[in-house]
Chains A and B, each alone.
Chain A
Amino acid sequence: GAGVSQSPRYKVAKRGQDVALRCDPISGHVSLFWYQQALGQGPEFLTYFQNEAQLDKSGLPSDRFFAERPEGSVSTLKIQRTQQEDSAVYLCASSVRFSSYEQYFGPGTRLTVT
């Protein structure tokens, strides 16, 4: 079956531009996570959805970051007025349970802000 997919795979944005990153989780997975991974670092938690409910957004670095999952499946991470420090790989992961057990990660979106 299909795994987690993310689009675009690569995104170059000029500083100040808005970007939208999409995540298609595995069908039927109730939990969805967004992480930010800088080069040579582990994934850093951004936000968590249980179905359509955003239960934890404590990891979002600023109010320029916004995530949604309106129908409990596809999720979008939006970054407004991008800054150079936003350059990273953004990973989406889904899990079949109401927890983070055995997360299935997507390939990530590499965002470069110039």
Chain B
Amino acid sequence: GQQVMQIPQYQHVQEGEDFTTYCNSSTTLSNIQWYKQRPGGHPVFLIQLVKSGEVKKQKRLTFQFGEAKKNSSLHITATQTTDVGTYFCAGSLKTSYDKVIFGPGTSLSVIP
């Protein structure tokens, strides 16, 4: 079946350093979504990417969708303690209702 993988599993950075998490799918995706889950919280939608090669920015966050629509990345510039949490990518297959498969997540710790 379809698999969505993420690396790294954990990342510890000093506040102010940059952070990147990578997402890879075993199959071509219809679109990809990113979610953030704070410790003890629930996933919160960040963004959806649809087009091949698409790049979107949200303040210090930059999201990319690969040309082959099989991989994606999330880059955070100058991390802050508020960025702590687990970042999940969720790859969507074009079924009748666009089902998503979540990756295992990258847990980000920011050392002040």
A contact residues vs B (CB 8 Å cutoff)? 31, 35, 40-45, 48, 50, 55-56, 91, 93, 98-108
Q: How many A-B residue pairs have CB under 8 A?
A: 59
CB-based contact A100/B42 at 8 Å = no
0 or 1 for each of B30-47: is its CB under 8 Å from A? (1 = yes) = 010100000001111100
A108 to B95 CA separation, bound complex (whole angstroms): 26
CB distance from A75 to the nearest CB of B (A): 16
Please give me the residue from chain B that is nearest to A49 by CB atom: B97
- Number of residues from B at the complex interface, CB < 8 A: 23
A105 x B98 contact (CB < 8 A): no
Interface centre among A42, A50, A107 (most CB of B within 10 A): A42
Q: Which residue of A lies closest to B30 (CB)?
A: A99
Q: Is B82 at the interface (CB under 8 A from chain A)?
A: no
What's the Cα separation between A84 and B95 when bound, in Å?
33
Q: Determine the chain A residues whose CB is within 8 A of the CB of B63 once the complex forms.
A: none
Q: Which of B45, B96, B100, B102 has the most CB of A within 10 A?
A: B100
The yes or no answer to B48 lying at the interface (CB within 8 A) is yes
Does B66 make an interface contact (CB < 8 A)? no
Tell me, in angstroms, the Cα distance from A101 to B45 when the chains sit together. Answer: 9
**Which residues does chain A contribute within 8 Å of B43, judged by CB atoms?**
43, 91, 93, 103, 105
Q: Are A45 and B42 in contact (CB under 8 A)?
A: no
Do the beta carbons of B97 and A56 come within 8 Å of each other? yes
Indicate if the CB atoms of B97 and A55 lie closer than 8 Å.
Answer: yes
